[in-house]
């Protein structure tokens, strides 16, 4: 078993580089099998890609509940560990499993019943709606493995143990990739087969990590106080991830007014961009326990340095995404679709979106930073600014004024505005903490 890392000592970039590769590899495999899913389904039926684009926001909502709860557990555990209260950290870890089961059950019941209405808002094509129901009612009703794995992975990551969460994600993803062609084409199950492959991969991931990540639940009398703190710390992440669901849904509705091809283009973007966002996602995951640990020790200087180094690393890594989206947009999409309308839209859409990648680094890291230091309201406000105030309203205005072409400028505009607000909050944070161990 990987030994714990001391977050309070040593060079920050070395700690991040030690933590990040396992997380990055795990997310790389996750991105790979999402891309492979789309590749197989695109070869099965072009309508399937539109169905995936419609279901995608619900999958984001599912991940928001699972990962957001895990982040709350992770952050609270790190704080207790930072002040030497290992017994309290273990109590928090023990609450994780019951929370995962309850969250899964509520999500499964709600999505099962709302799915037909949800699909009808974004398309009138009966075949696409049929695909949405056949795929969505499996991936949204049977993802218990995803909820459990997300919680148990965060428990281990709070202790600086990154290897096993990486391994379980890799194995689960490989199982998914192997089963996809077998079930989609071999057993002629289409999108139903793709959905079954997904939930089997999630379940296997959970089984692999269960022995190390599971902690015995504490007495019920201990739950109320810890639950309050878990969701106080995890709520910004849940809101941030959930907001993705609603703003992508909103963008889908706007684009549906143009064509199904526009909706498909947006869905393919979110599939492809996950591959380029892996470094940034890894940084977000890794800095949460490091910042929480040092903030609990009142080491504001180190907290500052963690943020600054993370932003620099994120900018350098995301520049690769900028180059790909600016110079080879249609080549990336042609792997999944040969539809001429989709490729024509991609030609200009991806180039506009690529302009957003550098300011996006700060607009996504700042909410995580404020979440890690307990500034829940600021973290939440940043998420609301980005997803509620900016994305859908600005996208709607651009679509009305400039049509489909100028709609895609919503991405760089949104990220720049969110970054400005983030820096305003950050300078206020530094001013408030200027006398706390800043030398």
pLDDT band at 4; cut points 50, 70, 90: low
Predicted confidence at residue 33, as pLDDT, reads 65
Report the candidate in 138, 98, 415 with the shortest Cα–Cα distance to residue 230. 98
User: What is the distance of C-alpha 144 from the center of its chain?
Assistant: 17
User: Mean pLDDT across the stretch 263-274?
Assistant: 91
Structure tokens belonging to residue 167: 């391994």
**pLDDT confidence of residue 70:** 93
Alpha carbons 269 and 404: distance in angstroms, whole number:
15
Per DSSP, the chain holds a count of helices (H) and strands (E) of: 17, 0
Check residue 169 and give its pLDDT.
85
Q: Are 62 and 238 in contact (CB under 8 A)?
A: no
Has residue 430 got a pLDDT over 80? yes
The confidence band for 435, taking pLDDT boundaries of 50, 70 and 90, is: low
Cα separation, 202 vs 174, in Å, equals 11
DSSP 221: G
Q: What pTM, to 2 d.p., does this model score?
A: 0.77
**Tokens for 264?**
């498909």
Q: What angle do CA 179, 270, 68 make, to 5 degrees?
A: 85
- Between 290 and 31, name the one with better pLDDT: 290
pLDDT, tens only, 353-397? 999 999 999 999 999 999 889 898 898 899 889 988 999 999 999
pLDDT tens, position by position, 220-233: 999 998 999 999 88
pLDDT of residue 395: 97
Q: In this structure, what token pair is assigned to residue 99?
A: 């929370």
CA 146 to chain centre: 13
Decide: 127 and 258 in contact? Cβ < 8 Å. Answer: no
What pLDDT score does 2 carry? 44
Q: For 312-325, what is each residue's pLDDT tens digit?
A: 999 998 999 999 99
If pLDDT is split at 50, 70 and 90, which confidence band does 125 have?
very high
- pLDDT tens sequence across 176-193: 989 999 999 999 999 999
Mean pLDDT (whole number) for 131-135: 96
Widest distance between CA atoms in the chain: 66
What sections of 297-391 are H helices per DSSP? Answer: 300-327, 329-334, 340-354, 357-372, 376-384
Contact 33, 179 (CB under 8 A): no
């Amino acid at each position: 078993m990987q030994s714990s890392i001391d977050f309070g000592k040593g060079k920050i970039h070395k700690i991040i580089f030690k933590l990040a590769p396992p997380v990055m590899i795990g997310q790389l495999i996750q991105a790979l099998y999402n891309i492979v899913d789309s590749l197989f389904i695109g070869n099965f039926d072009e309508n399937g890609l539109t169905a995936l684009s419609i279901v995608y926001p619900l999958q984001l909502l599912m991940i928001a509940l699972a990962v957001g709860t895990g982040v709350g557990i992770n952050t609270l555990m790190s704080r207790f560990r930072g002040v030497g209260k290992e017994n309290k950290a273990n109590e928090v870890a023990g609450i994780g499993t019951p929370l995962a089961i309850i969250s899964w059950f509520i999500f499964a019941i709600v999505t099962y019943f709302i799915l037909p209405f949800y699909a009808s808002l974004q398309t009138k094509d009966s075949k696409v709606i049929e695909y949405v129901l056949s795929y969505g009612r499996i991936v949204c009703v049977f993802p218990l493995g995803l909820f459990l794995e997300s919680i148990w992975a965060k428990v281990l990551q709070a202790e600086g143990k990154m290897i096993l969460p990486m391994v379980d994600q890799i194995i689960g993803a490989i199982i998914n990739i192997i089963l996809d062609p077998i079930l989609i084409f071999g057993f002629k199950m289409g999108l139903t087969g793709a959905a079954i492959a997904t939930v089997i991969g999630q379940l296997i991931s959970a089984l692999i990590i269960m022995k190390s990540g599971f902690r015995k639940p504490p007495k019920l009398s201990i739950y109320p106080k810890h639950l309050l703190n878990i969701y106080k710390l995890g709520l910004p992440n849940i809101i941030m991830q959930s907001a993705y669901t609603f703003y992508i849904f909103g963008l889908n509705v706007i684009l549906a007014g143009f064509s199904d091809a526009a909706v498909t283009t947006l869905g393919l973007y979110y599939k492809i961009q996950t591959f380029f966002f892996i470094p940034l996602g890894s940084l977000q995951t890794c800095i949460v326990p490091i910042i929480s640990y040092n903030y609990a020790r009142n080491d504001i200087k180190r907290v500052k340095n963690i943020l600054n180094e993370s932003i620099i690393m994120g900018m350098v890594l995301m520049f690769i995404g900028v180059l790909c989206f600016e110079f080879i947009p249609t080549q990336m999409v042609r792997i999944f679709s040969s539809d001429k309308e989709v490729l024509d839209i991609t030609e200009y859409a991806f180039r506009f979106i690529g302009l957003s990648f550098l300011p996006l680094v700060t607009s996504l890291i700042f909410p995580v930073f404020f979440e890690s230091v307990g500034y829940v309201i600021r973290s939440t406000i940043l998420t609301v600014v980005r997803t509620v105030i900016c994305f859908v309203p600005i996208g709607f205005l651009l679509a009305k004024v400039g049509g489909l072409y100028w709609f895609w400028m919503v991405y760089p505009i949104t990220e720049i505005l969110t970054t400005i607000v983030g820096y305003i909050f950050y300078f206020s944070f530094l001013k408030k903490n200027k006398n706390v161990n800043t030398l």
